[in-house]
Structure 1
């Protein structure tokens, strides 16, 4: 493995000294890579930082507001601009459909979307490429857009000396993964916005995340200084930079394509290893699987624990899995991660206690949590889990559903450049919206009678379980909820009068597959036909509008479907159709799932080594062609595909699919043997494969 950190040091020396490292290294905390171990990103890389090691055992006296930004970014004195103001001349992004790209359509920067036009221009003119990758609900992406990409001086320099490419990572996860791996290899951290500098042939040589627009007093260079130094270095030391780019590209290719470890046949003991690995990271006091500064819900972990709580070989293992599962679900449902007024969940919290969220809402989180809470209700009978599902589904159908039946990608965290403005309250605002008696009840239950928990504002949340609160107030849980429901409805109606955060209206095939699964599971477990109808409507829309000549497309926005789908799109949509088959027994869902799986095999299967590539055989050639194995916030495509193959082998009579499932799992077991807790979905697939194999004998 190339020691990529040394490449970074060489690059820094060429680009103007150690001062450049201060900001080039500052990475926004990222969920990228999820549970993936650092070794998977290369010898010197660190994967996602959704876990930490603060070692705290008691809550801090004051919970800090969201701070998922470079550690020193708050020192920037630039005034955020209104993204809706000052619209200038449209650039090429005005022709795009991605809401994130359209946010940059009136920047003075001469942006190109990723594609042949931009890449050919860079080669023809011998210009460096500035690649900026982000997504619509990324707060610091918006900050850099306002501070740097609306800055006329910065834009003029970029336009003269670089070919500037803007990428929506949710449309192009393949491009994002390659260049995020490069910045992680160099910096040992990564995040968004991803700011990467490439040679004219698109090889990375230097990058970071967020940069302030101008130099700061602490010595950290601003973005204008960074791009000036990079331009100067390319003019003076092109012959030294090109080898750095080649070696870093080779390191990226090795990190993403190399299968490490020795494969072993799938065996049931692997599930015990995964559960033991989870237990090591489990927060026994607060639930979840991180002890540091941020905490994500990590749905693939919860799906695994559900499986273990039902199917583990012994009662002790079942009990331990159920304890981790319910402790996590209970604390998440009580805390600020949950939107107690509008339903659904935010993306993560900035503390280990689930109190203060980063306020964006992602479809993939809510889709998976709908399944998890529904299945947990079926397992435990918890009325609170039932309530969580009903509120979550109501939120999705109200705020994230297109008139066509498809589901939107995300809701932003900010309004008018203020993080959480739509969701937080002052005590005076709540008092003004409610009658005196209503306020007294709501304040006591949701912590408004205490000190503010988000700067000078409140994120409503339960201090205790609903059962404990009811007992303290001398009423039943039903009586408590009967009194609270109209109060929450009144506050929700008041909140609806506020200016809403941006909705990313992309309809992504894979994420819609997850929401179809969530609704189908909710309909089955809660016996709600309305949920099943919503799932069917979404499936009908995706199959009718995001499939062309039998082949899936990635995204649909404003009536336009485009971009080749990825493995995760096929696997997750098939999984959603399987969930509808499980819920209804209707054979049409099974037929569609089988047809899409056959197309997936045709396009993505690795005939030599087994398993599925993330991109299709006819996809454009990039630096690396990877197979995803590790679960992140979204389960790994190969693991989901293995589960689908097993189900179709059993239910559709596709016996040859068991052999493909076996070969797919063979690509995952080497990594599972290295870092068991990083592949919970693969572990579930192994259990289902072994059961199917035993039944087939």
Structure 2
């Protein structure tokens, strides 16, 4: 019999609709019920593609005895962290404060006012590895609520005080010296053997890599050379390892090992949108190949019928993580024949012992094949053979921020490769965000099957989508995208500002939680702060409206101390600072379509952080194109900073 989650729109909540647990969705009714029964609230937070969320669900939430214990002693609430990042952020902060670490599934116990007094992550169904079983934890919590209410109140008060600590951030402008110091600090964390930063597990450091790419362009000095080395080593290692899908394109969420060999196999839209842009902007054969293959993955496996992009593919299929993606030598031979199978096994590091589990291996492509034609044919045959396997499930909700990242990535890929299908897909996703997610001038965070969900946008949605709209404006020269970007950025400036010049992650009139979330640090996706700064800077460069630039400079300074102390978590803010040091450059390329204009456009697109428009001739409706004409019949590029322009050039090298 289905529980209350049967009416949810979140695929993650729907995964739990048949649990014997009497789940509630987050909302006042659940809190009122807990108060009426005088029981605590058990909050369980996860997401649809989360492997350990599935494990805990199978072990505990599907177990009749465990569910009966939960139903008797708690009001149980399920939250999709991707749908309600504000709820997730507050209680993840509490979980980290109590346990020293965070992650999902997250289990938090609350009082009737939403104050946390216990937190943890995964709990097994039986005691193991020093962890109590989930049922033991539930009984201890029940006893504490009943027998030690003063202790519960004291713990809740302490955590509430921690969560409500003053949110003001120190202000420190990020100049050239601060950027170079950050690059030097990153060098101390760099893994010279395997690429990337730190040790296992390794997440793709996309925003840091874009910072390094931009720093390389500033000048040929020691810092730039170190940045180039870290960038080149890491993008090659990630694309050559098992974290990258060598058959179907696209990246898994992270590598569990130092060498990028074995991933956690879930494939997230936010990772692939960002990595798509990064590889497209490299301007190398490797970058072009990975961008094309990753764009193919997005269009083939994550595109929705309504024109947007789904959130994720699961890590598991048939209940086994990675089963869809891993191979044995025998399976390669079965698909390719004896000779090609053995050749492919050597090329892809598929061994008898296996690099993954149960004698299977991930596919790695560490070096270019000695016979590219043979590899292309083998890759296609393996891709077709894999298609007969049971596919991982898809979380098909559309998240505004992540679709913004995908749109920007597709525009960058169109700029580099010139394939119209990439721009068409970006425009379709943008139209979905406007037609479905923009409700009475305000952005909503999620939709599914073309129906918008209730959760309001958080700051990262406004920032990522506004940036996507600026990218669409420059690509299409359709001014309606500029108008939509202005709507979102003005909303950010009106409802999200903090007194120190930065931003909160939720609006001033959003649902009141225990505390108002605010975190300037980047994680797997850009922070609300850094994404909004990027959008403000690009919008100002495109339109010439100075107040958006001023707001960006003020907000960016609130990330200055973070950039000094933990640059790995401030890569996108540092990348914005690098672009602002450079202007960013505003480039207008004008002339008749053809190879001459295309060459100038490619040179312009390669300028890190630049805002580039390309047109047949002058247009008064675009400030960057006003009065811009070809020079002596030749296509020309006009390079400006702060709307002060140099003489036009016609040679891509000179540009």
Return 5+ residue gaps in structure 2 as ranges.
585-640, 645-655
Contact in 2 for aligned 1:661/1:689 (Cα 8 Å): no
| Post-superposition offset of 1:114 | 0.7
| Structure 1 CA distance for aligned equivalents of residues 517 and 310 of structure 2 | 27
- In the other structure, the counterpart of 2:69 is 157
Q: Matched residues in 2 for 1:681 and 1:413: separation? A: 27
In 2, the alpha carbon distance for the partners of 1:236 and 1:456 equals 48
Pairwise CA distance, 1:450: 5.4
* The one of 589, 593, 596 aligned to 2:481: 589
For the residue of structure 2 that corresponds to 1:611, the secondary structure is coil
Shift of 1:424: 1.1
Q: Please say if 1:575 is aligned against 2:467.
A: yes
Displacement of 1:637? 1.4
State the secondary structure of the residue aligned to 1:564: coil
Deviations 1:403-451 (CA, angstroms, capped at 9, x unpaired): 1110000000011221111111222222111123321331221123553
Query: Are the aligned partners of 1:373 and 1:386 in contact in 2 as well (CA < 8 Å)?
Result: yes
Q: CA deviation at 1:687?
A: 2.9
- Conserved? CA contact 2:328–2:361, under 8 Å: no
Contact 2:214-2:579 within 8 A present in 1 as well: no
Report the secondary structure of 1:342's partner residue: coil
Q: Is the 8 A contact 1:298 1:632 kept in 2?
A: no
The Cα of 1:554 is off from its aligned counterpart by: 0.5
Change (3 A) 1:463 1:515: closer
Tell me the CA shift for residue 673 of structure 1. Answer: 3.5
**Counterpart secondary structure, 1:195:** strand
Match in the other structure for 1:53: none
Trace 1:21-420 onto structure 2 (pairs within 5 A).
Answer: 89-216=1-128, 220-254=131-165, 257-259=166-168, 262-291=170-199, 293-311=200-218, 313-376=219-282, 378=283, 382-420=284-322
Gaps of 5+ in 1: 1-88, 471-479
Q: For 1:461 and 1:434, how far apart are their aligned partners in 2? A: 15
| Structure 1 residue corresponding to 2:510, chosen from 619, 622, 641 | 619
Distance 1:182 1:394, change over 3 A: same
Matched position secondary structure for 1:667: helix
Q: How many residues align?
A: 587
2:141 and 2:362 mapped to 1: Cα distance?
47
Matches of 1:677 and 1:136, distance apart in 2: 27
Q: Distance in 1 between matches of 2:565 and 2:495?
A: 29
Alpha-carbon shift at residue 384 of structure 1 (Å)? 2.1
Q: For residue 76 of structure 1, what is the aligned residue in structure 2? A: none
Quote the offset at 1:264 in angstroms: 2.8
Give how far 1:340 is off.
Answer: 0.6
Query: What is the DSSP-based 3-state SS (H/G/I as helix, E as strand, rest coil) of the residue aligned with 1:287?
Result: coil
Q: CA deviation at 1:367?
A: 0.6
Report the Cα distance in structure 1 between the residues aligned to 2:264 and 2:564, rounded to whole angstroms. 34
Match of 2:497 among 602, 605, 624: 605
User: Per-residue displacement from partner, 1:151-182 (whole Å, max 9, x unpaired)?
Assistant: 11111111111000011100011111111111
Superposed CA offset, 1:434-486 (max 9, x none): 123321331221123553111234334346321xx42xxxxxxxxx2221112
Distance 1:662 1:636 in 2: 16
Give the Cα–Cα distance (whole angstroms) in 2 for the partners of residues 492 and 344 of structure 1.
Answer: 13
TM-score when scaled to structure 2? 0.87
CA contact (8 A) 2:467 2:538 kept: no
Offset from partner CA, 1:556-597 (integer Å, 9 cap, x none)? 113321210110001001111222234344433222212221
Indicate conservation of the 8 Å contact 1:266/1:669, yes or no. yes
- Which residue pairs with 2:346 in the alignment? 444
Give per-residue Cα distances to partners, 1:70-100, cap 9 Å, x unaligned.
xxxxxxxxxxxxxxxxxxx100100001111
What SS class does the counterpart of residue 164 from structure 2 fall into?
helix
Task: Measure the CA separation in 1 of the matches of 2:304 and 2:172.
Answer: 45
What is residue 330 of structure 2 aligned with on the other side? 428
Question: Whole-Å Cα distance in 2 between the matches of residues 161 and 451 of structure 1?
Answer: 48
Distance apart, 1:305 and its partner CA: 1.1
The separation in 2 between residues aligned to 1:625 and 1:570, in whole angstroms, is 17
CA gap 1:429/1:691 in 2 versus in 1, 3 angstroms: closer
Distance 1:677 1:223, change over 3 A: closer
What's the TM-score once normalised by structure 1's chain length?
Answer: 0.81
Shift in Å at residue 320 of structure 1?
1.7
CA drift at 1:691 = 4.1
Q: Is the 8 A contact 1:273 1:676 kept in 2?
A: no
The RMSD of aligned alpha carbons is 1.8
The whole-number CA distance in structure 2 between the counterparts of 1:383 and 1:138 is 34
CA distance in 2, matches of 1:448, 1:183: 40
Name the CA distance, whole Å, in 2 between partners of 1:653 and 1:228. Answer: 62
**Distance (Å, rounded) in 1 between the aligned partners of 2:222 and 2:508:** 46
Aligned partners of 2:190 and 2:363: how far apart in 1? Answer: 22
1:548 alignment partner in structure 2 = 439
Paired residue for 1:523? 414
Higher relative contact order (CA 8 A, sep 6+): 1
Q: CA deviation at 1:654?
A: 1.1
Q: What is the CA–CA distance in structure 2 between the aligned matches of 1:390 and 1:265, rounded to whole Å?
A: 37
**Deviation of the 1:599 alpha carbon:** 2.2
Query: Does the CA-based 8 Å contact 1:554-1:564 persist in structure 2?
Result: yes
Is the 1:136–1:504 Cα contact (8 Å) retained in structure 2? yes
